[in-house]
Amino acid sequence: MGKGISVIQPRAASDAARTDRELVVLLDEEYQRVGVADKATVHTGDTPLHLAFSCYVLDADDRVLLTRRALGKTTWPGVWTNSCCGHPAPEEGFEEAVRRRAGQELGLAVGGVRSALPDFRYRAVSAEGIVENEFCPVFWARAEGEPSPNPEEVAEYAWVEWADLVAVAGRTPWLLSPWAVEQIPRLDAL
């Protein structure tokens, strides 16, 4: 377990909903749940494996919503990435988590949430030395309106053609988050 990480024992969903802390689900190497921890203590130079998700949101014209992370983000500030990411709460399903996070981060209702890469896992180290170590299934969703992003999460956004995003990931990967660079070719191969 990472230094400085306080593991919180799992509790009922109703108890988790009453806390102001965002909890993440800790996993072992077989992706079995082994506990929960406060998100604020997990992302360090020695981040334990935990559960997350990524989502790519499409509009009515099948363009994908690309977001640029807010400059105040701890890791990869100002970097372009997929539509939204997050961590399911301890008793929350992925579809519910995707919908919740799209609302919080993008100010956007989404529908048609479907699994794309159910077994995606990655590890990346930011320039600040913070490690991302996530079992991170990837989803598609459909926008139900226009985004109104939370400025603490998203600096700006753009609707882009999928082929253009694939080209950017292949030719200029430094413009994108490391998880998006890994996810995009796998999604394109489906």
* Residue 182 falls in the annotated catalytic set: no
Q: Which of 84, 85, 153, 182 is catalytic?
A: 85
Closest C-alpha among 158, 167, 144 to residue 81:
158
* Residue 134 falls in the annotated catalytic set: yes
Q: Which of 92, 95, 105, 134 is catalytic?
A: 134
Burial of 40 per CB tally in 10 Å (0-12, 13-18, 19+):
exposed
Q: In this structure, how many other beta carbons lie within 10 angstroms of the beta carbon of residue 156?
A: 13
Residues with catalytic function: 85, 134
